[in-house]
Structure formats: structure tokens, C-alpha cells
Amino acid sequence: MTDDHFSPILASKPRLAERLALWHAASMVVISTWALGGNSDWACTLLSAWGSLGGLVLLRGLFERWRQPGACRRLFWLWPWAAFNFVVLLSLANPNLRAITGYGATGFIPGGERLWLPSCARPDQAAQALWLFDGLFLTAFNVAFLVRRRAALRSLLQLAGGNATVLAIFGSLQKLTGSEGVFFGAISSPNPTFFASFIYHNHWGPVALLSVAACLGFAWYYAEDALQSYRDVWHSPVAMWLLAALFLAAAIPLSTSRSCTLLLLVLLAGAWLHWSWKRIHHAARRPRRTLAIWCGGSLLAAGTVSLVYWLGQPIIEARVETTREQMAAAQSRGNLLGARSQLYQDTWRMAQEKPWFGWGMASYPTVFSRYNTQTSPVDRLPVVYVDAHNDWLQSLAEHGAIGTALLALIGLLPLWTLRRYPGTWSLLPRYLLGGCLLVLLYAVVEFPFGCPAIVYLWWLCFFVAVRYRQLTIGCDSP
């Protein structure tokens, strides 16, 4: 029995902890996305401090619910997170680098750690990174732990989708008018490929992908409900969510993010195939009408793609030409990955040095210089990397096999506990999880989880999907 059915009073009047969890989660959506995606010192501090309120909300929820049978069982999902925190906290007391100062500069040399314990390169930076991660994660987890109504989950997700749509429109106007800085030039961006409020286009891309997936999920949700609650599909919110998905989809190629554009095509192709399968499934009832709808929908999809291309044609064609030149240069060297290949090899050597616990949280920018073998062809100075451009490899380098496994278990455990319950997943959570999967695939070639906004939105979409599934099948246990 779900919490929705536990008591009519509880179902109709959400308690304080649930309201706090929803408002806190909603505020983090807005803050994390508009505060440069969290990619500045002041934004990281703001998100860490505001996210820390998630711990207080969790305590309030425990106070309200600890006497209800089975109400706190989802805390079982937190044991990998607690174990990961324990490993990181142990590493803070065991630095593996020693700072040396000379000629007005500070350098780091290895040594001094206890080899059988987890260690970290920079305890101060590791503590700050853990503070930020815990704030983002607990804020999203509270949604799964405390929210007891699917309508509330949909409202939170609709706010996130609407916020992303506003960002897409804002970023597109900013791009098409040739703005030279974030917020129409009000803030100078350290990266020329900024988009909307994000200083790096490859960080905007995953946010848009997750949002497109959510919009498509809502379109399906309202399409299935149209006959019961509305006159027809076109008098329901379906068109609104398809339009939002169009704005978000157009903003991805406009941002010049090539990898996310390819993943967007995968997502849209999957959605079109899913819709086509649904049409074929109903073809036996009214074949002519079904064929007409399928042809009209396919033409609309093709027209949408053409419109997106027309809007961003100069930007898209310039990016395609750049890609062609890079591919030609890589083929001439006999290495399609180019500099990425050497970067991945050097990162793998760094990971092999400490295979179990890694070099410590947030250690990559400091430690990788010891393993970096790439130099600039102009002045022969080392090329500086602060990210591995592969979050999976970077996780192995920073957290080792044990830490990476614990991070994976944080997500796998909730999914594993739902396997025992019969029935199919409804379309909204399935599209959300599809978006989450695409971001995980994207992390093979980029560093989306180096952006706090993406970390938070990924966990939020994940926990909303899992909790929605629980409430759909009438389950409130682990």
C-alpha cells in the first residue's frame, strides 16, 4: 500500500517535510541552472550552502515518519552513499601529496600517506567537492523519500521542464544576436562556446537532453489521458509539451554541441519509432485513419527537423566543417580520437597507480600533470587538463574501483529493489530514465558531471522516475 492510501488525510494534506522537499528541490532547479550551472566559485558555494538544507529536510522527514510502518525503508538506498562519504572522509586525514613552496609558487610532490588507507591529493578541495555533492544528492533523494503523490512529482518536473524551455529561448536569442558574454554580455565567459547561462555548451547539452526527454514523457502522459480528461489530444497539454521539446531540441545544435546533437537525434528517433509502433499497434481498428495520422506525424517531424536546421544553418554548417577538418587531420595521423586518445591513456595510467581508492575526490587537476604527456606544438609547454573528458575514467582515477562501484550502486540499488514488482513502467518515468541513460553515455566522451547543475538534474530525474514507478504500482517499500 502506498503512502497515498495510508491515510486520506495524509494523501490530501501533505505534511511539512513533503512540502519542504518539493520547494527545496524546485529552488535548486532554478538556482543551479541560472547560476552559471554552478561552474564558478561563488555558485559552488551557494549551491553547497543551499543544498545543505536537504539534510535538515531529511531529518524533518524522519521525525514525521519514523513511527509509520515501512515509511523509512527507502533509507536502505542510502547505504552506498554513506559508504562513499565514509571513504572520502577517511581520505581527508591521509594526504598523498605534500605541498612545497618556493620562488613565490606552491607545488606538490607525492609521499606521506598510509598506503593501505584511502587518500586524497588536496583535502581542502576534496572536502568542498564532497559538501557540494552531498547537498545536490540529498536534495534530489528527499523527493523520492518524502513525496507521496504523483501529481506533486509531475508539478516538480513540469517546473524543471518549463525552466529549461525558458533557458533554451533565452540562449537561442543570445546566440542569434551574437552576444559576446553570458546574460547578453553582462558576464564575461571564460569559454567562447557558452550558451544561455552555461559557460560551456557541452554542459547545456545534457540539461537540454534531460529536459527534452521529460517533455516527450509529458506529451505521452497527456496523450494517453486526453480521451478521459479532455475533448481530444489537441485540446490537451500535448501540443504545449511538444512545442517545449521543439524549443529545447533547436537549442542543442544552436549551442554547437556536436555530441549532444547526435544524442538528441537518437532520442528523437527513438521517440518517433515508439510513436510509429503505437500507430501500427492500433492500425487494425481504423487502418486508414491510422495511416493518415502516421503520415501527418512523420511530415511534422521532418518539418520540425528542417525548421531547426534553417534557424541554426550558419552555426550548424560551420560546426560540421570544423568536424570534417578535425576528422581529416585525425585520419592523417592514423588516430580517430586525436589528442583524446593520449589523454585517455594518460588518465588510465593515473588510475592504475592507485586502483582501489584512487587519488581522492577532486584530485584530477592537481595530480594529472604528473601523467600528462601532451605538449603544445607551438611552445612545447604541457597542455593543461582539468578534466579527463571522460567521467568514467576520471572517476576511476579519483575514486578507484571501490569508490566508482559505490557511486554506481547509489543508482543501481533503487532500480534493483523495484525489479520484484510486476507490471510495466509508465511512459513518463521510462522517458526520464532514457534521458539519464543518454547522459551516462555522453559521459564516455565528455565531462557532464563536472557541472553541478547536471549532477543535480540527473539525480532529480532519476529519483522522480523511481518514485513515480513506486507510486504507480502501489509500492512504498524497498
d(CA 372, CA 384): 8
How do residues 410-462 score in pLDDT, each as one tens digit?
Answer: 999 999 988 877 667 789 999 999 999 999 999 999 999 999 999 999 999 99
What pLDDT was estimated at residue 316? 61
Give the Cα separation of 155 and 143 in Å (integer): 12
Contact 355, 398 (CB under 8 A): no
C-alpha cell at 358: 584512487
CA atoms within 13 A on the CB side of 260: 31
Assign 321 a pLDDT band (cuts: 50, 70, 90).
low
Q: What Rg value do the Cα atoms of the chain yield, rounded?
A: 24
Q: Which of 5-14, 66-75, 112-121, 174-183 has the lowest mean pLDDT?
A: 5-14
Residue 6 has pLDDT above 60, yes or no: no
C-alpha cell at 146: 518524502
Q: What is residue 280's predicted lDDT score, i.e. its pLDDT?
A: 72
State how far Cα 402 lies from the chain centre: 22
Phi-psi region of 356 (alpha: psi -120 to 50; beta: other; left: phi over 0): alpha
First CA to last CA across the chain, in angstroms? 12
What percent of the chain stands above pLDDT 90? 55
pLDDT of residue 315: 60
- Residue 232 confidence class, pLDDT cut points 50, 70, 90: low
The residue with cell 562501484 is 405
Range from 174-183, 246-255, 328-337 carrying the lowest mean pLDDT: 328-337
More confident residue, 1 or 314: 314
Q: How confident is the model at residue 80 (pLDDT cuts 50, 70, 90)?
A: very high
The one-letter code for the residue type at 191 is N
Point out the least confidently predicted range of 74-83, 310-319, 336-345: 310-319
Q: What is the pLDDT confidence band of residue 218, given thresholds at 50, 70 and 90?
A: very high
What's the angle, vertex CA 160, arms to CA 46 and CA 468, rounded to 5?
Answer: 115
What would the mean pLDDT of 148-153 be, rounded to a whole number? 94
Least confident segment among 149-153, 301-305, 462-466: 301-305
Residue appearing with cell numbers 492510501: 5
Instruction: Report helix angle 123-146 to 41-51, nearest 10.
Output: 40
User: pLDDT band at 193, cuts 50/70/90?
Assistant: confident
pLDDT band at residue 97 using 50, 70 and 90 as cut-offs:
confident
What is the Cα–Cα distance from 140 to 389, expressed in whole angstroms? 25
In whole angstroms, give the CA distance from residue 160 to residue 164: 6
Reported confidence tier of residue 66, pLDDT bands at 50, 70, 90: confident
Mean pLDDT of the chain: 84
Q: What cell does 170 get?
A: 533565452
CA–CA distance, 305 with 164 (Å, rounded to integer): 20
pLDDT digits (tens, 9 = 90+) for 43-63: 999 999 999 999 999 999 988
Q: How many CA atoms lie within 13 A of 444 on its CB side?
A: 8
Report the C-alpha gap between 456 and 430 in whole angstroms.
Answer: 19
Helices and strands in the chain: count of H runs, count of E runs = 19, 2
Distance of alpha carbon 131 from alpha carbon 256, whole angstroms: 32
Q: How confident is the model at residue 311 (pLDDT cuts 50, 70, 90)?
A: low
Query: 32: burial class by Cβ within 10 Å (0-12, 13-18, 19+)?
Result: buried
pTM here? Answer: 0.89
Higher-confidence residue of 105 and 141: namely 141
With 60 as the cut, is the pLDDT of residue 5 above it? no
429: amino acid identity, one letter? P
Question: Distance between CA 40 and CA 199 in Å, rounded?
Answer: 9
For 183, the 3-state DSSP assignment is helix
Q: What is the pLDDT of residue 458?
A: 98
Q: pLDDT tens across 359-383, in order?
A: 999 999 999 989 998 877 766 777 8
